Amino acid sequence: MAKQEDDFKKVISHAKEYGYVFQSSEIYDGLSAVYDYAQNGAELKKNIREYWWKAMVQLNDNIVGLDAAIFMHPTTWKASGHVDAFSDPLIDNKDSNKRYRADVLVEDHVAKIEAKIEKEVKKAAKRFGDAFDKEQFLITNQRVVDYQEKVTTILKRLGKSLEEEDLADVKKLIEELEIACPMSGSKNWTDVKQFNLMFGTKLGASAETAMDLYLRPETAQGIFVNFLNVQKTSRMKIPFGIAQTGKAFRNEIVARQFIFRMREFEQMELQFFIKPGSQKEWYEKWKENRMKWHMSLGLGEDNYRFHDHEKLAHYADAATDIEFRFPFGFKELEGIHSRTDFDLTKHQEFSGKKLQYFDTEENKNYVPYVVETSIGLDRMFLAVFSNALQEEELENGTTRTVLKLPAVLAPTKAAIFPLVKKDGLPELAHEIIDDLKWDFNVIYDQKDAVGRRYRRQDANGTPFCITVDHQSLEDKTVTIRHRDTMEQQRVAISELKSIIHKEVDMKSWLMKM
Ligand code: ATP
């Protein structure tokens, strides 16, 4: 646990030191669970968003984009069920006065049991070597089977109690599992209560006439209320999708995990409209498709897993999370939900306007079913960033800190150095920049010895460093150094563009899907 915490602290301080993420309003001691993306963070975030948008919208002729407003008519949230049901179960520890999400306390307890399973697996893999059969081990080793049974029983019970809103049983479960406050170790808990997560605000000039509004807690509803407008103007035929990225706001009860759980965050969502009855098939297709998107970035197959929901949200008939191995363990990165016709039907009911599709093949009207994929951009940022940060031991006994971001997402693609600050080398370096900057984000750096400049760019995640030296003036060649392998090559300046392009071009990365 201590190592995990230590690794996570390193991620947070690296993000700050290298201009990726700052605490919001830091000079006023910050605002809890609100963060700002700095010069490098803004670029990385933009690149992740673009990587998603290309894969979802540009490459699918049956998916179009949308950019709906954050404010929506307040009835939207009555219809969607958020006013009545968008809440989390909270519990306070009476001794430490710390507040927790009751379901998260139980899930963290489960994660500890799962960690024990992983430990047993690792031990056995080491003992049996090549002959190790993980599948077989998981069903035959009694200790692991017992752990697994415990996990299943706990999650089933939690799911059932939440589904039935039996908050007293959630508390009982916490007590039976002897879960202690992670801060104080105390097991002195209050009752579990529901807490609505929506932020309210007001629209209008005077107090009497002002209208109560909510900041949207998800981007999805902007898509649903625009469903017919988009369908008609784009002349889309079912199955088709509407995709959108944008800010969402939740008054999270506990927000102690950096950009993993924020009060203002960004989502990237697809609502895919389909024929009723075909939801199982599309749900499976989108599960597969989204996992392929993740795999294309090469963060490691072992770092992802599906986690099917025991407790289904009020709108879903099937739901799964894509979980990622964050520095604090496996947690939800993306949700895939089969939302049935719940949202469109509710909006029809509350607005009195028909939200139906005329299917020319079947010659009838119906309210389409929906499969949703919803990923947090900030969580994806954290996944990419934390996975990339590595301390590497080098052959000469020293270590280097390197941010091995997928080159396609790196904020800066190349840094250009003149070997020395004279003899026309800075001028040539600037000439190279003036040519490359039309295609890539590149920077100039002439401070310190070249070795230190390399280290700085390694820690910044820059995939290429290009050094201009005296030979460059004579034969128009430079040294290009690769971040991950640290290999250096002598290449013609005229080749630089194509070398960089090959590594950072979105097409070649997305083709891996
Ligand atoms: P959690 O169980 O972690 O609270 P959720 O199941 O409520 O998440 P969804 O409503 O399915 O999340 O939202 C879709 C995605 O939006 C999540 O998979 C996550 O990546 C992102 N997300 C949700 N809440 C937050 C938040 N507070 N901060 C950052 N990202 C978030």
Domains and CATH numbers, the chain: 1-72+197-393 (3.30.930.10), 412-510 (3.40.50.800)
Q: Which of 366, 223, 375 is nearest to 286 (CA)?
A: 375
Residue nearest to ligand 1 atom 31, measured at CA = 376
Residue nearest to ligand 1 atom 1, measured at CA = 332
Task: Please report the pLDDT score of residue 86 as a whole number.
Answer: 87
Q: How many CB atoms lie within 10 A of CB 450?
A: 17
> What is the distance in A from the centroid of ligand 1 to the CA of 266?
10
Please give the Cα distance from 246 to 69 (Å, whole number).
Answer: 9
Task: Please report the pLDDT score of residue 209 as a whole number.
Answer: 81
Does the beta carbon of 252 sit less than 6 angstroms from any atom of ligand 1? yes
> What is the distance in A from the centroid of ligand 1 to the CA of 262?
9
Residue nearest to ligand 1 atom 26, measured at CA = 261
Please give the Cα distance from 161 to 165 (Å, whole number).
Answer: 6
Distances (CA, A) of 321 to 34, 309, 313, 372, 483: 24, 7, 13, 12, 33
Contacts of 264 by beta carbon, 8 Å cutoff, 6+ apart? 34, 247, 248, 249
Does the beta carbon of 107 sit less than 6 angstroms from any atom of ligand 1? no
Q: Which of 261, 321, 380 to mutate to test the pocket of ligand 1 (most atoms within 8 A of CB)?
A: 261
Does the beta carbon of 462 sit less than 6 angstroms from any atom of ligand 1? no
> What is the distance in A from the centroid of ligand 1 to the CA of 376?
6
Contact 198, 263 (CB under 8 A): no
Q: Which of 379, 382, 385 to mutate to test the pocket of ligand 1 (most atoms within 8 A of CB)?
A: 379
Tokens of 201: 């605000």
Contacts of 331 by beta carbon, 8 Å cutoff, 6+ apart? 260, 323, 324
Residue nearest to ligand 1 atom 11, measured at CA = 335
Please give the Cα distance from 446 to 467 (Å, whole number).
Answer: 10
Task: Please report the pLDDT score of residue 498 as a whole number.
Answer: 97
Does the beta carbon of 258 sit less than 6 angstroms from any atom of ligand 1? no
The CB-side HSE value for 42 (13 A sphere, CA atoms) comes to: 7
Q: Which of 290, 281, 186, 249 is nearest to 34 (CA)?
A: 249
Please give the Cα distance from 324 to 251 (Å, whole number).
Answer: 23
> What is the distance in A from the centroid of ligand 1 to the CA of 260?
9
Task: Please report the pLDDT score of residue 400 as a whole number.
Answer: 95
Does the beta carbon of 418 sit less than 6 angstroms from any atom of ligand 1? no
Tokens of 425: 């080398």
Instruction: Judge if pTM exceeds 0.75.
Output: yes
Q: What is the pLDDT along the chain (513 residues), one digit of tens a residue?
A: 577 888 999 999 999 999 999 999 999 999 999 999 999 999 999 999 999 999 999 999 999 999 999 999 999 999 999 998 888 899 999 999 999 999 999 999 999 999 999 999 999 999 989 889 998 999 999 999 999 999 999 999 998 998 888 999 999 999 999 999 998 999 999 999 999 899 999 888 887 788 889 999 999 999 999 999 999 999 999 999 999 999 999 999 877 799 999 999 999 999 999 999 999 999 999 999 999 999 999 999 999 999 998 777 777 889 999 999 999 999 999 999 999 999 999 999 999 999 999 999 999 999 999 999 999 999 999 999 999 999 999 888 999 999 999 999 999 999 999 999 999 999 999 999 999 999 999 999 999 999 999 999 999 999 999 999 999 999 999 999 999 999 999 999 999 999 999 999 999 999 998
Does the beta carbon of 82 sit less than 6 angstroms from any atom of ligand 1? no
> What is the distance in A from the centroid of ligand 1 to the CA of 75?
23
Sign of the CA dihedral with 485 first, then 486, 489, and 494 last: positive
Can you tell me which atom of ligand 1 is nearest the CA of 88?
4
Residue 458, classified by CB atoms within 10 Å of its CB into exposed (0-12), middle (13-18) or buried (19+), is buried
Does the beta carbon of 154 sit less than 6 angstroms from any atom of ligand 1? no
Task: Please report the pLDDT score of residue 148 as a whole number.
Answer: 95
> What is the distance in A from the centroid of ligand 1 to the CA of 298?
23
Residue nearest to ligand 1 atom 14, measured at CA = 374
Rounded to 5 degrees, what are φ and ψ at 204? 130, 160
Task: Please report the pLDDT score of residue 1 as a whole number.
Answer: 55
Please give the Cα distance from 219 to 335 (Å, whole number).
Answer: 13
First to last CA, the chain: 35
Quickly list DSSP for 110-165.
HHHHHHHHHHHHHHHHHHHGGG--HHHHHHH-HHHHHHHHHHHHHHHHHHHHHHTT
The CB-side HSE value for 193 (13 A sphere, CA atoms) comes to: 10
Does the beta carbon of 264 sit less than 6 angstroms from any atom of ligand 1? no
Residue nearest to ligand 1 atom 9, measured at CA = 335
